[in-house]
Amino acid sequence: MNTSCIIRGMGHCVPETRLTNADFERMVDTNNEWIITRTGIRERHVALKGETCVDLCLGASQKALENAGMAASELTHVLVATFSADSVIPSAACMLSHRLGIAGRMAMDLSAACSGFLYAMETARALIVLHPEAKILVACGDIVSSRVDYTDRSTCVLFGDGAGAVVMTADAPGLSGGRVQDVLVAADGAMGDLLTVKGGGSGTPYKLGETIRHDFFVEMNGREVYKHAVRAMSGVCQDIMTRHGLTRDDVDVFIPHQANLRIVEAVGKRLSMPEEKVFTNLQKYGNTSAASVPLALSEAVADGFIKPGNLVLLGTFGGGFTWGSALVRF
Ligand code: UT7
């Protein structure tokens, strides 16, 4: 059965507080020039006022529902992609449903690090095939700052907090939004140790009274991750275009995972994608993990970077490793 899906509305939300490169110059041995030339990042929003993953997902979800012209009570499923839920139990999806004032629906968290949005979109597509009447909220949020060591200059400058959300339903005549043409996702656990957040998991548990170790935070072999990110993201974006007989000329807008401007440029080059088709907002937000792609998509639509009729290519790469691509026609 082939039921096509449509993104009916989208929204995003970031914490109030911003940390600029100048702030990091005061915190660790770094400088604005290094951060800009190596990453492109100028500032990031960080949950210093106590905002949680569910708070940001709620903000993004309310905007997505409003944008879709839908009430929360109409939702049938709530999916949250995150690695930094407010708690292990209850899940962020259960908490988000409750905050939205709904109960009795399927609510589930998904863990695919920075690729969370495409994994959740693929899951939503499968649910829509099973339940063609479904109205699915896909919220992606991370408080990466809760797992960043702000004394480690090699990681702390890279990340920010945020959330992005979309509402997906089966497509039908007369609906407006982003028609999901295809999603392609993949994973390879063999290289999982190159990017980890381990401490507190059952493989590296903490006992009562123990102080946290460095494994509690994001640990990354930046150079290796960089190489794999470029290779996997460009490969999976090429694969989805090939699968549909498309070339870069058919794509109007490319939204890659917002981790590093050099990665974005290298992927764009491999795909021969003209620079003016590539949307970036990592300069303002840093790498917001699961929120990265939906936050960029939501902003690109709101800013008018994506216009009606545009074919949008999404690409992602994250810890696990996980990666993916999608094609959406607006
Ligand atoms: O979302 C999932 C994926 N995550 C990513 O995509 C991140 C992928 N990796 C990267 O973006 C880059 O590898 C980084 C931005 C993390 C690092 O850039 P790089 O060009 O690979 O730098 P490097 O790690 O090779 O480090 C170069 C130098 C080192 O000094 P030495 O050994 O050459 O003396 C680092 O110690 O830069 C130093 N360094 C810094 N210097 C100033 C590392 N971090 C900093 C810093 N400020 N914040």
CATH 3.30.590.20 correct for 5-174: no
The residue-averaged pLDDT of 266-295 equals 98
CA separation, residue 2 to residues 128, 136, 170, 312 (Å): 10, 17, 10, 21
Count the Cβ atoms, other than its own, within 10 Å of residue 172.
9
Average pLDDT over residues 151-167: 98
The per-residue pLDDT for 251 is 98
Percentage of the chain beyond pLDDT 90 is 98
The active-site residue, picked from 5, 13, 94, 114, is 114
- Tell the residue nearest (CA) to atom 39 of ligand 1: 154
pLDDT at residue 65 in the model: 98
Q: For ligand 1, atom 16, which residue shows the shortest CA distance?
A: 222
What's the chain's average pLDDT?
97
Mean pLDDT of 204-213: 95
d(CA 51, CA 270): 38
Domain ranges in the chain are 5-174, 179-329
Residue whose entry in the numeric block shows the structure tokens 């399927």: 106
CB 320 within 8 A of CB 115: yes
How buried is residue 197: exposed, middle or buried, by Cβ count under 10 Å (0-12/13-18/19+)? buried
239 pLDDT more than 90: yes
Q: What is the mean pLDDT of residues 219-243?
A: 98
- The answer, yes or no, to whether the previous bond of 321 is cis (omega within 30 of 0) is yes
Nearest CA to ligand 1 atom 47: 30
pLDDT bin (cut points 50, 70, 90) of residue 2 is low
Decide whether any atom of ligand 1 lies within 6 Å of the 185 Cβ: no
**pLDDT tens string 73-104:** 999 999 999 999 999 999 999 999 999 999 99
> Is the predicted pLDDT of residue 1 greater than 70, yes or no?
no
Q: By percentage, how much of the chain surpasses pLDDT 70?
A: 99
Is any ligand 1 atom within 6 A of the Cβ of residue 114? yes
Query: Mean per-residue pLDDT for 180-205?
Result: 97
**What pTM value is reported for the model?**
0.97
287 is catalytic: yes
Count of all residues that appear for the chain in the document = 330
Q: Could you give the CA distance from residue 273 to residue 294 in angstroms, rounded to a whole number?
A: 20
Minimal CA–CA distance to 294: which of 138, 177, 97, 179? 138
Q: What is the pLDDT of residue 3?
A: 75
Domains 5-174 and 179-329 share a fold: yes
Question: Is there a cis peptide before residue 90, judged by omega within 30 degrees of 0?
Answer: yes
Mean pLDDT of 228-233: 98
SS3 of 239, please? helix
318 CB less than 6 Å from ligand 1? yes
Q: Is the CB of 153 under 6 A from ligand 1?
A: yes
pLDDT of residue 140 exceeding 90: yes
Question: pLDDT tens digits for 8-45?
Answer: 999 999 999 999 999 999 999 999 999 999 999 999 99
Mean of pLDDT values over 215-242: 98
Active site annotation includes 13: no
Domain 179-329 in CATH 3.40.710.10 = no
